[in-house]
Amino acid sequence: MKRVLLCVVATLLVLAGCQSKTGSSSEEKMTVNPPDRDLVAEGLPAFNEKVADLPKTDLEIWLAADYANTEPITDAIEEFKEVYPNISVKTVGIEWGDMSNKVKLAVSSGAVPDMAHAHAFAMGAQGLAEPLDDLWEEWGAEDQFVPGGIQDTEWKGVKYGVPIDVNTTIYLYNKKVFEENGITAPPKTLDELVDVSKKLTKKDGSRYGIVTSASGWSFFGNVIAEGSNNLKFNGDEVTANLNDPKVVETMEKYTGLATVDKSSPVPPPQQRQTDHPVAMFGTGRAVSFISGPWDIARIKNEFPDAYKDLATAPLPGADKGSVLGGGSLFVPKGSKNSIASFELMKWFISDKYGIRLAKEEGRHPVKTHLYDDEFYNDPLLKPYIETLQYAQPYKLEAFPEANDAWGKALRAVFDGADPQEELDKAQKIAERAIENSN
C-alpha cells in the first residue's frame, strides 16, 4: 500500500511540474519560419530569428485598463502571435493608478508578469524593472524616437523599457473672446498669462480668464516652461530642487491666479483634476486652461460650440517645453522572458500600430517620423508637436514620498498656505527620500 501511495505522489509531482504557468517557458521547440510577406513594408518590425527560436513561451502582460482591450493593442497581439506562434500572450488590464503597487507586490512575491505599463524610469529607479540596454543596442532604433520618450525609460543612464506613447501640455483658449477684448495673440510669458487672465475675468464671477489645476504633474509643466526643475541631475547624482527660488516664484504666480487675482476658481479638492477645466471652458465660464491634445478631442465631442472658437498655443513661459506625459512598457524584475516581451513592445509602437493608437485612441506616437502623417496637419496640434520636442518627464515620480510631498504642497498653497514654507517642507521630505534610495 505504501508503494502505491508513493507512486501516486510521484506521478502527481511530475504532472504538476509539466503544467504551463503564465510567464513561463517550456523546452518544447517548434519550427517558426519567416512569413511569406514583407513585414517592414507593412510598417512592422523585421522578423526576429531570436524570438522565432525561443521555445514555447507564455507571456503575461499588464497594461493600463484603458489600453488593454483597445483594437490597436489586441490586433497587434494577434498579428504578433501569427508571426510567432511559439509565443502566447495573456493580457491583464489594471487601473493606471494601481499599477506600481501591483508590480511591487508581484516582484516581492516572485510571481511577476513579463511586461507591465507605467513609467519605466520610475520602475528602474525603484529596482522593479529589468535593464534592457542590450536589447536596445541590438535594435539600434533610438534615433527614431522623440527625445522625451527615451527619457521616460531611462534612469542613471540605463534603459528599463520602451515608450508606448507621449503627450505634453499646451495652452488652450477661446480666440473669439480674445478678439472681443482686443487681445491679438496668446500670452507668451507667465507674467503675460497673469495679465491676460485678469483682463478676461468678469468681476461678477460669471467668467474667469483661466482655470488652474492642483495637479502636481501638470504644474511641473509650468516649472519646465520657466526653465527650472524640481530635481537637479549631475551625471548619476540626483538632488532635490523643490524649493529653488524659481520654482517658488512659479508656484506663487500660478496659484496666485486663483488665490490673489481671482482670475481662476480655486481647483476643487479632488484627485482627478482634468474634468473641471474642460467643463468650465466648454460652458463659457472660463476663457482658457492648460491641458493636452486629449482635451481637444474631448471639447470637440462634448462642447461643439466651444470647439468652433478653440485655439492653442505653447505653454506661456520663459523657456521652451513642458511636462512629458504618456507612459512606457517595461519588464518587471525577475521575468525571464525579456526577449519576447521586448519584441512585442516593438510591435505596439510600430508604424502600423503606433499611428492607429493615435487616430483611434488619441495616444500619440513615440517615433518622430509618424508626426509627418496627415493626421497631424491639424493647426490645433501644431503647438503640441512643437512643445513635444522639449517636453521633460516628471522624474520626481522615481521617489514616491517626494512626489506625494510635491502634490500636497501645491494643494496647500491653493488652500492659502505660503509657497516658500510648503516647498521648504517638501524639500526636506524629498532629500530624505533620495538619500534613502541610494
DSSP letter at 403 equals H
φ and ψ at 363, to 5 degrees? -100, 110
Contact of 91 with 117, CB cutoff 8 Å: no
φ and ψ at 347, to 5 degrees? -70, -40
Task: Give the pLDDT of residue 28.
Answer: 72
- Whose CA is closest to 416, among 297, 218, 266, 212? 266
Average pLDDT, the chain: 92
Q: What is the CATH number of domain 21-166+326-379?
A: 3.40.190.10
Contact of 148 with 135, CB cutoff 8 Å: no
Q: Report the C-alpha gap between 333 and 68 in whole angstroms.
A: 21
Paired strand residues for 329 = 117, 162
Residue 202, classed as helix, strand or coil, is: coil
- Whose CA is closest to 391, among 366, 374, 370, 371? 366
Tell which CATH classification among 3.40.50.2300, 3.30.750.210, 3.40.190.10, 1.10.287.130 matches the domain 170-321+399-437.
3.40.190.10
pLDDT digits (tens, 9 = 90+) for 372-401: 999 999 999 999 999 999 999 999 999 999
Beta-sheet pairing, 87-94 with 57-64:
parallel
Q: How far is CA 402 from the centre of its chain?
A: 18
pLDDT digits (tens, 9 = 90+) for 141-196: 999 999 899 999 999 999 999 999 999 999 999 999 999 999 999 999 999 999 99
Task: Give the pLDDT of residue 5.
Answer: 41
Helix-helix angle 245-259:190-200, to 10 degrees: 0
Percent of the chain with pLDDT over 90: 88
Please, which residues have CB within 8 angstroms of residue 313's CB and are 6 or more apart in sequence? 170, 171, 173, 186, 187, 383
DSSP letter at 142 equals G
Beta-sheet pairing, 323-330 with 310-313:
unpaired
pTM above 0.75, yes or no: yes
Task: Give the pLDDT of residue 113.
Answer: 98
Q: Report the C-alpha gap between 247 and 141 in whole angstroms.
A: 36
- Return the C-alpha cell found at 197: 487672465
DSSP letter at 316 equals P
Q: Beta strands of 40-177 (E only): which ranges?
A: 57-64, 87-94, 116-118, 154-155, 158-159, 161-168, 170-174
Please, which residues have CB within 8 angstroms of residue 207's CB and are 6 or more apart in sequence? 200, 201, 284, 285, 286, 287
Integer angstrom CA distances of residue 361 from 294, 300, 347, 393: 9, 15, 16, 22
Has residue 11 got a pLDDT over 60? Answer: no
Has residue 6 got a pLDDT over 70? Answer: no
Q: Report the C-alpha gap between 267 and 279 in whole angstroms.
A: 13
pLDDT digits (tens, 9 = 90+) for 192-212: 999 999 999 999 999 999 999
Task: Give the pLDDT of residue 30.
Answer: 82
> Where are the CATH 3.40.190.10 domain residues in the chain?
21-166+326-379, 170-321+399-437
- Return the C-alpha cell found at 333: 524584475
pLDDT digits (tens, 9 = 90+) for 71-121: 999 999 999 999 999 999 999 999 998 999 999 999 999 999 999 999 999
Contact of 178 with 197, CB cutoff 8 Å: no
Handedness of CA 148, 107, 77, 56 (dihedral sign): positive
DSSP letter at 267 equals P
- Whose CA is closest to 410, among 247, 208, 195? 247
- Cα angle, residue 61 at apex, residues 60 and 67 outer, rounded to 5°: 145
- Return the C-alpha cell found at 320: 521652451
- Return the C-alpha cell found at 82: 501569427
